[in-house]
A = this chain, B = another copy of it.
Amino acid sequence: MSSADDRALAQRTRILDAAQVCFQKSGFHCGSMATIAQTADMSAGLIYRYFENKNAIILAIIASQLDIIRQRIRDLRAAEDLGAALLDYFDSQCDPEQQQISVPLFLEMSAEATRDPEIAQAVRQFDDTILSEFTDWLSRSPENNGFGLPQDIAAERALGLMCLIEGLKVRKARNPDMDRALLKKAIDASLTNFVKQLPPASPAD
């Protein structure tokens, strides 16, 4: 029983790994089931024992990407130098390795969220989670590894931080060879304001 479940899980993983590679290379719609099967080194028919259809694979890939991203984003909070960590985060994309964030998939899934309600919901829920985790982090007291920002400020900074992270992904897709040093400065400039200090005139706000 358990061994059968293990096998099923392993097969699913094998398929998803292959699908990730294919989708990354060709996009959700041009990555074909045949190619996925070939990449997974199994027959096309077998895939349907583990996934109802192609869309199920796409959804699973999206869920998996969201999981990976969530974890990577959580890891950011442990970083000594948040800017450097973001640069790394931003950097480790587009690897053929597994467990890596795929920028093209991220963008495509975001575009698809505009069309497919199921994807929209998954993405939305992910965003809510991340945002609230960020807010929590920023508002926690420094002795609890937080930044001690007031709740409302924290929420707004969390949103800004998310924009930054996602903006960086777009940069990465559009200009993968961008000057790293310049980028680091741009990131640091943003972060200065976001997380390291309260806004100058916050009492007057």
Q: How far is the CB of A169 from chain B (nearest CB, A)?
A: 7
Judging by beta carbons under 8 Å apart, are A111 and B104 in contact?
A: yes
A-side binding surface: helix, strand, loop or mixed? helix
Q: Which residues of the other chain, B, contact A7 by a CB distance below 8 angstroms? A: none
Q: B-facing mask of A172-193, CB < 8 A → 1, else 0?
A: 0111101000110111011011
Q: How far is the CA of A178 from the CA of B112 in the complex (A)?
A: 18
Which of A9-17, A50-58, A160-168 makes up part of the contact surface? A160-168
Count of this chain's copies in the oligomeric assembly: 4
**Given A103-B114, A107-B108, A193-B189, A163 and B157 contact (CB-CB distance below 8 Å):** no
A169 (CB) vs chain B CBs: closest residue? B170
A25, A113, A190 pick with most chain B CB within 10 angstroms:
A190
Judging by beta carbons under 8 Å apart, are B193 and A192 in contact?
A: yes
What are some 9 contacts across the A-B interface (CB < 8 A)? A26-B115, A27-B115, A110-B173, A124-B175, A127-B175, A159-B178, A159-B182, A159-B186, A192-B199
Contact of A163 (CB < 8 Å), options: B110, B159, B173, B190: B190
Q: Does A155 contact B (CB under 8 A)?
A: yes
Q: Which residues of the other chain, B, contact A123 by a CB distance below 8 angstroms? A: 174-175
Q: Does A94 contact B (CB under 8 A)?
A: yes
**Given A110-B107, A192-B199, A162 and B156 contact (CB-CB distance below 8 Å):** no
Question: A interface, how many residues as a size bin?
Answer: 35 or more
Q: Which residues of the other chain, B, contact A200 by a CB distance below 8 angstroms? A: 192
**Given A27-B111, A104-B114, A159-B186, A170 and B173 contact (CB-CB distance below 8 Å):** no
A107, A114, A160, A176 pick with most chain B CB within 10 angstroms:
A114
**Given A174-B124, A189-B193, A163 and B168 contact (CB-CB distance below 8 Å):** yes
Q: Which residues of the other chain, B, contact A155 by a CB distance below 8 angstroms? A: 182
